[in-house]
């Protein structure tokens, strides 16, 4: 099951378990911790926490959910930022790993976590985000669970300045209004147009100005596969890439049930974000991505900011879907997969 970044109040998340950014004494505090205690019923939750006693930094303990719409509250004590030289990164990663492992042990199918230590504990928000995504991703590559990373507001979520600036520049350079968009560079909307453009590309190599990361397919190959549905093309690409189904839907941040539906229904057309998620998982270049999207009736357009951001990552050869979703979230765009 996938990871989704959401802007919400964690106490309102309808999941099996939520994670509390606790202190080592498991006492009601401020911020996320105070909100969780208040919503759960502070007296009863504090009594159970007192019975547990404490929680070491990086470790996790579990209690009932009480008045919250969850079965469990998982409490983890994050590190206080001290400049990064006191094993803070490892301890913070342990918070996520141990919280997720505890949820799995208690048969949770869904969980919501905050950005641990990024509040009053002072952990730099961009680094806290990177560690959170990396830790959750590592867990999801081996296990099935719906994971929500919950941020309360935009101030709580900070993309690295270098990446944000780079994407912003790319958008400024490439994002154009539809009426100024060169018709020759519009994404192919049907198979006949796809065939025509690729033929022209092979006859005059300067038709496309976009650099491609991999060698294009032959014209004969394109023509022979024009009638493939999205599902057929996807499954053929998985075989050609030498990948297994599990690797693909996990890298695509897609739920297993949805993948099985796509696999079993030849004519099934997924949403655009799902289609692009598979292109990212398969590490397709722009030409291959456009081709796969056309099978489901979609395009990539320079007049769509979401599409331009996707193009940026493909041209950069960056196929980390969780990192892409961080950027999409930062630019207020819909996320891939999930």
> Which tens digits make up the pLDDT trace of 56-104?
999 999 999 999 999 999 999 999 999 998 999 999 999 999 999 999 9
Q: What's the pTM value of the predicted model, to 2 decimals?
A: 0.75
What confidence tens digit (pLDDT) does each residue in 250-307 have? 999 999 999 999 999 988 989 999 999 999 999 999 999 999 999 999 999 988 999 9
What confidence tens digit (pLDDT) does each residue in 199-252 have? 544 454 444 334 434 455 556 565 555 678 999 999 999 999 999 999 999 999
Please report which confidence band the pLDDT of residue 151 belongs to, taking 50, 70 and 90 as the band edges. confident
Q: What is the pLDDT of residue 242?
A: 94
Please report which confidence band the pLDDT of residue 174 belongs to, taking 50, 70 and 90 as the band edges. confident
Q: Which residues contact 180 (CB under 8 A, 6 or more apart)?
A: none
**DSSP-based three-state secondary structure for 126:** helix
Q: What is the pLDDT of residue 119?
A: 87
Q: Exposed e or buried b for every residue in 122-150, given b needs 16+ CB within 10 A?
A: ebebbbbbbbbbbbbbebbeeeebbbbbb
Q: What is the pLDDT of residue 158?
A: 57
54 pLDDT above the threshold of 90: yes
What confidence tens digit (pLDDT) does each residue in 3-27 have? 998 889 999 999 999 999 999 999 9
- Give the integer Cα–Cα distance in Å for 234 and 293: 10
128 pLDDT above the threshold of 80: yes
Complete edge-to-edge strand list for the sheet that includes strand 17-22: 3-7, 146-151, 110-114, 17-22, 72-77, 60-64
Q: Which domains does the chain have, with CATH numbers?
A: 3-158 (3.40.220.10), 162-330 (no CATH)
Q: What is the pLDDT of residue 338?
A: 61
CA-based angle 168:296:310, to the nearest 5? 10
Q: What is the pLDDT of residue 165?
A: 73
196 pLDDT above the threshold of 60: no
- Give the integer Cα–Cα distance in Å for 42 and 184: 63
CA dist 159 to 130, 142, 323, Å?
Answer: 9, 26, 10
182 pLDDT above the threshold of 70: no
DSSP per residue over 145-202, as a string? -EEEEEESSGGG----HHHHHHHHHHHHHH---GGGS-GGGSPP-SHHHHHHHHHHHH
- Give the integer Cα–Cα distance in Å for 234 and 280: 12
- Give the integer Cα–Cα distance in Å for 326 and 112: 16
Q: What is the pLDDT of residue 214?
A: 47
- Give the integer Cα–Cα distance in Å for 72 and 65: 4
Q: What is the pLDDT of residue 178?
A: 42
181 pLDDT above the threshold of 80: no
- Give the integer Cα–Cα distance in Å for 156 and 142: 28
- Give the integer Cα–Cα distance in Å for 50 and 302: 57
Consecutive H or E run containing 203? helix 191-203
Q: Are strands 72-77 and 60-64 parallel, antiparallel or unpaired?
A: antiparallel
What confidence tens digit (pLDDT) does each residue in 110-121 have? 999 999 999 889
Q: What is the pLDDT of residue 131?
A: 94
70 neighbors 17 (Cβ within 8 angstroms): yes
Q: What is the pLDDT of residue 332?
A: 86
Q: What is the pLDDT of residue 34?
A: 94
Q: What is the pLDDT of residue 292?
A: 95
Q: How far is CA 312 from the centre of its chain?
A: 16
């Amino acid at each position: 099951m996938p990871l989704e970044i959401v802007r919400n109040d964690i106490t309102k998340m309808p999941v099996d378990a939520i994670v509390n950014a606790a202190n080592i004494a498991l006492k009601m505090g401020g911020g996320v911790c105070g909100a969780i205690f208040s919503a759960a019923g502070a007296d009863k939750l504090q009594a159970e926490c007192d019975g547990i006693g404490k929680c070491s930094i990086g470790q996790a303990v579990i209690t009932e959910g009480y008045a919250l719409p969850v079965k469990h509250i998982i409490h983890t004590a994050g590190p206080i930022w001290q400049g990064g030289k006191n094993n803070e990164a490892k301890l913070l990663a342990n918070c996520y790993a141990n919280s997720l492992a505890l949820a799995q042990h208690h048969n949770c199918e869904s969980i919501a976590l905050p950005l641990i230590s990024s509040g009053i504990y002072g952990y730099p928000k961009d680094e806290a985000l990177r560690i959170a995504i990396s830790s959750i991703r590592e867990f999801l590559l081996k296990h099935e669970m719906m994971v929500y990373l919950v941020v309360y507001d935009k101030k709580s979520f900070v993309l690295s300045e270098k990446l944000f600036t780079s994407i912003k520049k790319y958008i400024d350079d490439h994002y154009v209004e539809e009426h100024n968009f060169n018709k020759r560079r519009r994404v192919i909307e049907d198979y006949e147009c796809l065939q025509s453009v690729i033929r022209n590309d092979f006859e005059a190599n300067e038709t496309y100005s976009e650099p491609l990361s991999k060698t294009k397919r032959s014209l004969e190959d394109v023509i022979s596969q024009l009638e493939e549905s999205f599902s057929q093309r996807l499954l053929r690409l998985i075989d050609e890439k030498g990948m297994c189904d599990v690797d693909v839907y996990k890298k695509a941040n897609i739920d297993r049930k949805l993948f099985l539906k796509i696999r079993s229904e030849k004519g099934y057309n997924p949403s655009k974000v799902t289609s692009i998620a598979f292109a990212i998982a398969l590490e397709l270049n722009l030409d291959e991505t456009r081709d796969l999207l056309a099978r489901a009736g979609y395009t990539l357009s320079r007049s769509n900011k979401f599409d331009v951001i996707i193009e940026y990552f493909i041209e950069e050869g960056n196929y980390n879907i969780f990192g892409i979703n961080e950027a999409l979230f930062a630019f207020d765009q819909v996320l891939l997969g999930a």
